[in-house]
Amino acid sequence: MSEKSGLCEPIEHDAIHLCVDMQRLFAEDTDWRTPWMKRVLPRVEEIAGAHTERTVFTRFIPVQSAAEATGRWRQYWERWRNMTLDCLPEEMVDLVPSLAHLVPPARVVDKRLYSPWIETPLRALLREHNVQTLVITGAETDVCVLATVLGAVDLGFRIVVITDAVCSSSDQTHDALMTLYHQRYSQQVETATTAEALAAWR
């Protein structure tokens, strides 16, 4: 399979920019700070600014306390106790300010899991607007962005991952995911830069 990136065809007007978890809890001085979120933020702002009414932001909402989590999630939240709502200032779940001011007309979908497809209104929202294509940006490449992409693959969406508008706290796994998309998902996942996507989005 080819490892080349690029778009197969123009991005139609009914596409949605799905921006994953560009929140203060990942951008600021917390245990989950993603150092190069700041570097990709201008690219995310470009796409969201150009297609504000076609943008949906997801937010990852931590549990109140580890005690309310079930299964292996309880162990996870015990490990990340400082990131529960009992410990974290409430405003840290907000989008970063430069994106928060776009809502509305941009929309927000909150989620409790990595995937935005489980126990959220996202799928119904996209179906209501006859969305066929998702232009995906956000954080982190190898966690919530990955869950978003794989769920979208299963649901049959056309997927365009914006290579300079996704970020991770691990360069190694970020790069591995880009290779995975090119080598194993080349029929279902396209990749493009911000400039390429904006030029192709009619």
Q: Report the CATH number that the domain containing residue 130 is assigned in CATH.
A: 3.40.50.850
Beta strands in 7-148 (DSSP E): 16-20, 55-60, 107-111, 133-139
**Which residue intervals of the chain are DSSP H helices?**
24-27, 37-50, 72-79, 97-100, 122-128, 144-155, 171-184, 194-200
Is 114 part of any domain? Answer: yes
78, part of any domain: no
Would residue 86 count as lying in a domain? no
Query: What CA–CA distance (Å, rounded) separates 150 from 169?
Result: 20
Q: How many residues does the chain have?
A: 202
Question: Is 90 contained in some domain?
Answer: no
pTM exceeds cut of 0.85: yes
CA dihedral 48, 23, 133, 12 (to 10 degrees): 0
Range of the domain at 141: 16-61+95-200
Instruction: Look at residue 51 and tell me if it is in a domain.
Output: yes
The verdict on residue 11 lying in a domain is no
pLDDT in tens, the chain (202 residues): 234 557 889 999 899 999 999 999 999 999 999 999 999 999 999 999 999 999 999 999 999 999 999 999 999 999 999 999 999 999 999 999 999 999 999 999 999 999 999 999 999 999 999 999 999 999 999 999 999 999 999 999 999 999 999 999 889 999 999 999 988 998 999 999 999 999 999 8
Q: Domain count for the chain, please give it.
A: 1
β-bridge partners, 58: 20, 109
Within-domain flag for 161: yes
- Rounded to whole angstroms, how far apart are CA atoms 182 and 80? 33
Q: In this structure, is residue 148 part of a structural domain? A: yes
Distance of CA 161 to the CA centre of its chain: 10
Alpha carbon 39 to its chain's center:
15
